[in-house]
Structure 1
Amino acid sequence: MNINLVLIIALALAVVCCLAWLLIKVSHLKAQSKLLSSQVNALEMLTADLQANIHNIAQKNAELNDLISTQNTENEQVSKQLEHRIKGQQQAIANITQQLTLIDEQQPQDKFYHRASKLAAKGASAEEIMAECELPRAEVEMLLAIYKQNNNE
């Protein structure tokens, strides 16, 4: 019986050791479970924060897109206004250029008449005025007649 008792005690000790080992393992697993649970909670909180940030970023992105769209519309309007003003200015410049060309074309003729008037005032003859100013006889005679009429009054 001694052997049976020794075997039973050995078996009981083995069972106690296994139970102790299992208790240690369970305790260790509970600690790991708590750690994992706290990590899962932390990850869930981070996920919620990230989702909130993503939502905020999407909202800001939509606001920026609206602002860009508004700015593009305003830029197009300003661009059209500037194009209209530029065309107006170009037309004004073309008109002024045309007027300057006409003035330049008229000035040589005006210079001849001005010079002819001065010569008439000095008492030059019709032939002298015609030669120097390249004016037709009829115009020179008319100029001399006007000059004489003004001097007689």
Structure 2
Amino acid sequence: MAARSTPTAPQLRIWRDFIETVAAMQGELGRRLQDESDLSPADYSVLLALSDQSGHELRSSELAATIGWERSRVSHHLGRMERRGLIRRDDCATDNRGAVVVLTDEGSAAFRRANVPHLRAIRELFIDRLDDEQLQMVDGITRALKKGA
């Protein structure tokens, strides 16, 4: 017997619940981040990626790949962040076509100020709502989903 080609009604309900829950949590985390630190979730993603690098810098193409954005989106967003003093773009010494995105002292300070309230919100909205067994199940589920992506 051939496998069913479309999800069942219960499977679709689970899918919708999953997508709606993730969107609601992302929205609440984004609102809190903006309210508490004046950083958007996009700002935070860029600052996190740069903070994780030794020297706090990445080529713009590497930054795009790291955060999963199209290069044009990164370029436009970096322009806004640069005007706010959070990052700067330097010419790449090894390739005159590229730019290196550097975390500024102001950007580093903004990231540090945002971290504690953001991590507190993650704990409140996600971690504290699940027991250890449920957290391990979520870990297994996300690993399985990443394999197929």
TM-score interval, normalised by the smaller of the two chains = under 0.3
Structure number with greater CO (CA < 8 Å, separation at least 6) is 2
Q: Please give the TM-score of this superposition, normalised by the length of structure 2.
A: 0.23
* Structure index of larger Rg: 1
More helix per residue: 1
Q: Please give the TM-score of this superposition, normalised by the length of structure 1.
A: 0.23
More strand per residue: 2
